[in-house]
Amino acid sequence: MDKEYKIAVIGLGYVGLPLAIAFSEHFESIGYDINVDRINTLNNSVDTNGDIQFIKNDNILFTNNLSDLSYANIYIVTVPTPVNPNNTPDLTLIESASSMIADMLNKDDIIIYESTFFPGVTEDICVPILEKRSGLRYNKDFYCGYSPERISPGDNQYRLNDIVKITSGSNTEIANKIDNLYKKIIKAGTYKAPSIQVAESAKLVENIQRDVNIALMNELAMMFDNMGIDTLQVLSAARTKWNFLDFKPGLVGGHCIGVDPYYLISKSEKSGYKPSLLYSSREINNHVASFIVNKTIKLMYEEGKSTEGSNILILGYTFKENCSDKRNSKVRDIEMGLKSHSCIVKIFDPYISPSASNNFISTPFEQDIKYDAIIVAVAHNEFFKYSIDDFSRISRGNLVFLD
């Protein structure tokens, strides 16, 4: 056990928990979260997010007691960074976590932020809070770093250990220290960025690149749909070129790709540049749910089905395939859109317990109910087992099917 650092991870969600467990294999560690239920379940070695399996070891203390943090000398912050209803960055949780750390801060401590930031959040927003409340001076009495998290929920191929970690620090010596710290836990290695702002920006670029490319596919899909051309057939043909970028059309929800572009958009606007491509990509991707609703209704009318009182089955509710994370899922927009047309909506998702709401059913096939339309909204592996015959059996009249 390395005695040099005592590590406190602040926020034990999808990002913080695996990190705290990984550090506890090398250092004495504290996992702090304000959610008492979360602490209680983690103390029983249970991750209610269903993301990781672990056995709590003796080197880690899960706690919601602030005084337990007092002996840490490295703080790693992994609290959420959502957007406000008007899509501007909501930094309240990061600000309150910084205030809390400031109250515990000792000379020579290092604070590393892992939450997704726009360039400047660490040094222009968090550091002033840390300095003001602690009375200590940045880069003289305490130090900072930024190391973005790049894991993706539900991706079992690339876990924390398998993804190169970008690191950065507030001066050369601290950057090296932070880089060496992460080298202990990341098998794939690290990439030391030249500055905190570069590390902050790199994370946003990764997610914006996906958002823009998916928006392109969504726009093409809507165009081809109008022309009566099958987009998936077009993409299969186009994919045969060696340098084709294999993005697919679909819903963009969740807490990363659908949120992070707004962070850079906001920063860019304040710096005097309005990023029109980023804006339109967000608009296109946000429009997909209503496109699906309108398309479903159109197909039903073509089959002589009215929407009033019709039964619609939606397969999949999480924000992406093969995971249980339903934060900011755009399937909810489809559900609400259909309900506004007086449809009765049932949802089956193998990752969500039917007790979550009475809309949810435990199996799509063993019900007496027949559906006027069936929408596959999320590409969970399980759904690939179903055939068109299976869907026809639970269809009322001609099958109306969207995937």
Binding residues vs ligand NAD (CB under 6 A):
10-16, 32-35, 38, 78-81, 93, 96-97, 100, 115-116, 149, 151-153, 255-256
Q: How far is the CB of 27 from ligand NAD (least distance, A)?
A: 19
Strand order in the sheet with 373-376: 344-348, 311-315, 373-376, 401-402
How far apart (Å, rounded) are the C-alpha atoms in residues 350 and 365? 13
Cβ-closest position to ligand NAD: 13
Strand 143-146 with 110-113, pairing: parallel
Q: How far is the CB of 99 from ligand NAD (least distance, A)?
A: 9
Q: How far is the CB of 254 from ligand NAD (least distance, A)?
A: 8
Which is closer to ligand NAD, CB of 65 or CB of 306? 65
Which is closer to ligand NAD, CB of 81 or CB of 296? 81
Q: What is the DSSP letter of 272?
A: T
Using DSSP's 3-state secondary structure scheme, residue 348 falls into strand
Q: How far is the CB of 267 from ligand NAD (least distance, A)?
A: 15
DSSP run (H or E) holding 374 = strand 373-376
Which is closer to ligand NAD, CB of 27 or CB of 117? 117
Using DSSP's 3-state secondary structure scheme, residue 80 falls into coil
Return the structure tokens found at 348: 């089956």
Which is closer to ligand NAD, CB of 89 or CB of 364? 89
Q: How far is the CB of 89 from ligand NAD (least distance, A)?
A: 10
How far apart (Å, rounded) are the C-alpha atoms in residues 226 and 310? 25
How far apart (Å, rounded) are the C-alpha atoms in residues 251 and 217? 11
Q: Give just the sign of the alpha carbon dihedral 53, 77, 35, 263.
A: negative
Active-site residue 256, yes or no? yes
Kindly give, in sequence order, each residue whose CB lies less than 8 Å from that of residue 347, ignoring residues fewer than 6 positions away: 313, 314, 315, 317, 331, 335, 359, 360, 361
Max CA separation in the chain (angstroms): 74
How far apart (Å, rounded) are the C-alpha atoms in residues 226 and 78? 44
Q: How far is the CB of 63 from ligand NAD (least distance, A)?
A: 10
How far apart (Å, rounded) are the C-alpha atoms in residues 338 and 242? 40
Paired residues of 375 in beta bridges: 314, 402
Catalytic residue among 126, 144, 256, 323: 256
Q: How far is the CB of 5 from ligand NAD (least distance, A)?
A: 19
Q: What is the DSSP letter of 125?
A: I
In the numeric block, the tokens 């998290």 are attached to 149
Helix, strand, coil % in the chain, rounded to nearest 5: 40, 15, 45
Catalytic positions, written as ranges: 256
